[in-house]
Every structure is written in C-alpha cells, then in structure tokens.
C-alpha cells in the first residue's frame, strides 16, 4: 500500500472513531445530566431513531426522487421481526438475548434490516412503473396493507400487540445508527454511484440514455432506505419492550415525510436538523398542558396574514427593504401573538384552554402548508448546511441590497 492509500485509510478510521466517540458522548450526556430522568434518556434514544428514519427516507425521496410515503411500515417490519425472533430465543432470562445483549441487538439490527429490505423491495417494484403522486399513494397503500396484515395476525399479537423481552437499551447505538445512516448517504453522494441516483432524480429518460441502469438504482434506493429503517425498528422494539399497532400509526409516515420535506428534499443535513427539531418541539409540547384558545386562534390568524404578506413580497417587491420585509412580519406576528394572547386570555370563550398535546399535529400540518406556500423546496433545498453555504447565503443577501442601493 502506498502512502496515499494509507493516509486515506487513516482518515477513514479517524472518522469512524470520531463517530463512535460522539455516540458515547451523547450517551454520557444523557445518563449523567442530573435533570434527565428515564424520560429524558428516551428523548435522546428516539431522536437518534428519528434522524435515522428521516435520513433514510431522504435517500429514497430526496436523493433518488421516488416519493415514498410508507416509511413507517419498514420501521414496523423491523420491529416485529425482532419481536418474533426475541420471543423465539428468550427463555425466562436464560436465552441468547439476555446473555449477550450487545451482539444480539446488533444481530437484530441486521435481521430487522434484512426483512425490511425485503419489504422495501416489494414496495419498490411499482416505482418502476409509477411516478410522482401515484407512487406516493401506492407506497402509502403498501404501508397500510402491511399495518393491517400485522394487526390481524394472531402470531404477532393481533390488535393487542406483542411483548419484546428483554429490555436492551443502548442510547449510543441509536446515535451510532443515525451517524452511520448519515455517513452512508453522504458517502453515496461523494462517489460515482451517487451521481447515478441523482441522475435518476433529475431525468429518468436522459439518465437511462446515458447508460444509468434506472431500474437498478430505484430498487437499490428502496432496499437501502428500508433496511436502515428496519434496523431502527429493531432498536425500538428492544427499547420499548412492547410493540403494537399504536406504536406505528399511519401519521408516523407523514411525520417522517414532513421532516424530509422541511429540511429540503435531497439535503442530508437538512433532514437531520429537521428530524431533531420536529421531534423535539412536539415532545416539549407534551409538558404544555394548558394553552389558552386566545393564543392558538391568534397564532393561526397571524400565520395566515404573515404567509400572505411574505408571499406578496416574494412575488412583487424587489425594493431595497425586501429582506427586511421578508423577515419582519414573523417578528411582528410573534409579538402580536404573545401580547394579544396574554391580553385576550381572560375574554369570554377565548379563555378556554386546549391540551397542548392536541396541538402537536395541528402544528405539523401548519408547518407543512406554510412551507409549501413559501419555500416548496424545503429550508435547505438540495444544499447541505455548512459554513460555506451560510457565507454564500449571507453574501447574496448583502450583495442584493447593495446592488439596489447603488
């Protein structure tokens, strides 16, 4: 081996070591901070899984451009595979799973990933003939079919659910899975195979004319994406110790799609950041028990007004103050909601309170609609978040206002 190859290998090992170290750091933070109880640790664990789900869906939706909406089904397949295997090899605390928890769990991630990849293969087949919204609906339909079949299988616990024993709980493993998913996506885009995926997204006919094997690429995207989601499901099963139809509601698929769309389809960092934000905000909202109607109603009204205003500015106004006009309405409306909500808190019917938890999905829905109306390509579009990108964006903003001024 020459020195270049050695150095490359060294760098690669260094990156892997850094990833593992980061995963343990997250676990250390989760376990050691006094303020985090077991619920707080669960937060860290699930955040890892959501990042995995979002980034793996981004592989199918964003990078390959095959709009899939049944991602929760693969997650579910992974979890139930683990559940069945664990039930087979668990004998009152003496089975394989209890003796060697870590190798068992890693094995389960592979098993869950494998079965989910098989499901992904079946779901991916129609993508060879369908595109756009039809594909979205078919994948949604497959997701529902898998859910209904699992619900009606006596051997899988039926509609009651099934126990998964023992409880194995490694926070670092979920973080590591997320890091691995990000690394796989990123490395894919950095080499020639990844270009083929992007080519399929941009133009199927042209890329097939250029010798890209479109069928293969689409199937590969589905296999890879669903396998990663299945591995996440395996981790979830042993963490929750009980899985049922309610663990994987239909809305879960929508949530994952929202994460990818919000971050920007095709942007790995975008999906990651969106997954963390969209997971943590609603979790924080669980603590919000009482929200007065005044805030919620004002919030919705101000959102509509702001969106209308910002859209108008985007379409028509190219004056010097454009940037200000795009940003200011948000601040104004936040202030209006905060002040107005507090002022109207005790007025008649507006004083009624809503359970904050019920607002979660309303917020998801509003986020989706607002985003599509203002920036349909997602926050980061297909760019990656980096310091260079940030500099470029800032430079563009300052340059534009400068030009108009001169």
Partner 1 sequence: MIHSFTDLLAGASLTTLPQQLASGILLGAIYALIALGYTMVYGVLKLINFAHGEVYMLGAYTALFVTWALGFTPNAPNPPEARVWMLLIMLLASMTVCAIVGILIERFAYRPLRNQPRIASLITAIGLSLLLQYGGQLVLPVSPPPSIDSKVNPFSDNVKFVLKQGDSALLTQAAGFQPKVDQAQAAFDAQLKSEKSQFDLSPRGEELKKALEDVKREQKVVTDSANASKVEITLPKGQLIMLGMVVALMAALTYLVMFTKRGRAMRAVSLDFNASSLMGINVDSIVTFTFIVGSSLAGAGAMMTATFLPGTQINTYFGVLPGTKAFVAAVLGGIGNIPGAVLGGMLMGIAEVIVIWLGYDAYKDALAFVVLIAVLIFRPGGLLGSAKVEKV
Footprint on this chain of partner 1 (rule: CB under 8 A): 67, 126, 129-130, 132-134, 136-138, 141-142, 144-145, 148-149, 151-152, 205, 251, 254, 257, 261, 296, 304, 311, 354, 358-362, 364-369, 372-373, 376
Longest CA pairwise span in the chain (Å): 79
Q: How far is the CB of 115 from partner 1 (least distance, A)?
A: 20
DSSP 100: S
For residues 318 and 294, give the distance between their C-alpha atoms in angstroms, rounded to a whole number: 35
Q: How far is the CB of 205 from partner 1 (least distance, A)?
A: 5
Which of 31, 362 has the CB closer to partner 1? Answer: 362
Which of 43, 368 has the CB closer to partner 1? Answer: 368
Which of 133, 167 has the CB closer to partner 1? Answer: 133
Q: How far is the CB of 70 from partner 1 (least distance, A)?
A: 10
For residues 221 and 274, give the distance between their C-alpha atoms in angstroms, rounded to a whole number: 21
User: Which pair of tokens denotes residue 348?
Assistant: 């008649």
For residues 331 and 329, give the distance between their C-alpha atoms in angstroms, rounded to a whole number: 5
51 close to 204: Cβ distance less than 8 angstroms: no
Q: How far is the CB of 381 from partner 1 (least distance, A)?
A: 13
Intra-chain end-to-end CA distance of the chain, in Å: 58
For residues 370 and 299, give the distance between their C-alpha atoms in angstroms, rounded to a whole number: 13
Which of 17, 308 has the CB closer to partner 1? Answer: 308
3-state DSSP assignment of residue 388: helix
Q: How far is the CB of 379 from partner 1 (least distance, A)?
A: 14
Which of 326, 366 has the CB closer to partner 1? Answer: 366
| H or E element at residue 291 | strand 290-292
Q: How far is the CB of 189 from partner 1 (least distance, A)?
A: 21
3-state DSSP assignment of residue 91: coil
Which of 76, 175 has the CB closer to partner 1? Answer: 76
For residues 352 and 347, give the distance between their C-alpha atoms in angstroms, rounded to a whole number: 9
């Amino acid at each position: 081996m020459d020195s270049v190859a050695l150095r490359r290998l060294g760098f690669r090992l260094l990156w892997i070591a850094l990833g593992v170290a980061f995963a343990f750091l997250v676990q250390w933070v989760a376990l050691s901070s006094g303020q985090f109880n077991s619920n707080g640790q669960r937060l860290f664990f699930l955040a890892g899984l959501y990042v995995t789900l979002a980034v793996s869906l981004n592989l199918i939706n964003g990078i390959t451009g095959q709009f899939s909406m049944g991602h929760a089904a693969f997650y579910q397949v992974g979890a139930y595979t683990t559940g069945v295997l664990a039930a087979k090899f668990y004998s009152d605390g003496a089975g394989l799973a209890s003796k060697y928890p870590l190798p068992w769990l890693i094995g389960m991630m592979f098993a869950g990933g494998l079965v989910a990849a098989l499901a992904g293969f079946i779901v991916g087949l129609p993508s060879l003939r369908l595109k756009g919204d039809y594909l979205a609906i078919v994948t949604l339909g497959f997701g529902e079919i898998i859910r209904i079949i699992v619900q009606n299988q006596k051997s899988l616990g039926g509609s009651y659910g099934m126990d998964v024993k023992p409880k194995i709980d490694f926070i670092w493993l979920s973080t590591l899975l997320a890091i691995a998913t990000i690394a796989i996506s990123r490395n894919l885009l950095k080499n020639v195979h990844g270009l083929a995926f992007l080519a399929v997204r941009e133009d199927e006919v042209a890329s097939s004319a250029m010798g890209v094997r479109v069928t293969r690429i689409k199937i590969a995207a589905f296999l890879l994406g669903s396998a990663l989601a299945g591995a996440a499901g395996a981790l979830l099963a042993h963490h929750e110790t009980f899985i049922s139809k309610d663990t994987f509601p239909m809305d879960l698929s929508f949530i994952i799609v929202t994460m990818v769309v919000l971050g920007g389809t095709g942007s790995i960092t975008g999906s990651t950041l969106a997954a963390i934000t969209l997971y943590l905000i609603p979790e924080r909202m669980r603590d919000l028990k009482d929200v007065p109607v005044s805030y919620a109603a004002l919030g919705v009204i101000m959102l509509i007004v702001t969106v209308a205003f910002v859209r108008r500015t985007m379409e028509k106004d190219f004056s010097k103050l454009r940037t200000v006009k795009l940003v200011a309405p948000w601040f104004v409306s936040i202030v209006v909601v905060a002040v107005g909500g507090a002022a109207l808190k005790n007025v008649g019917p507006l004083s009624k309170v809503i359970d904050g938890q019920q607002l979660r999905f309303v917020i998801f829905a509003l986020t989706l609609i607002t985003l599509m109306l203002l920036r349909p390509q997602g926050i980061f579009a297909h760019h990656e978040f980096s310091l260079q990108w940030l500099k470029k964006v800032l430079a563009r903003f300052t340059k534009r206002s400068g030009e108009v001024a001169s």
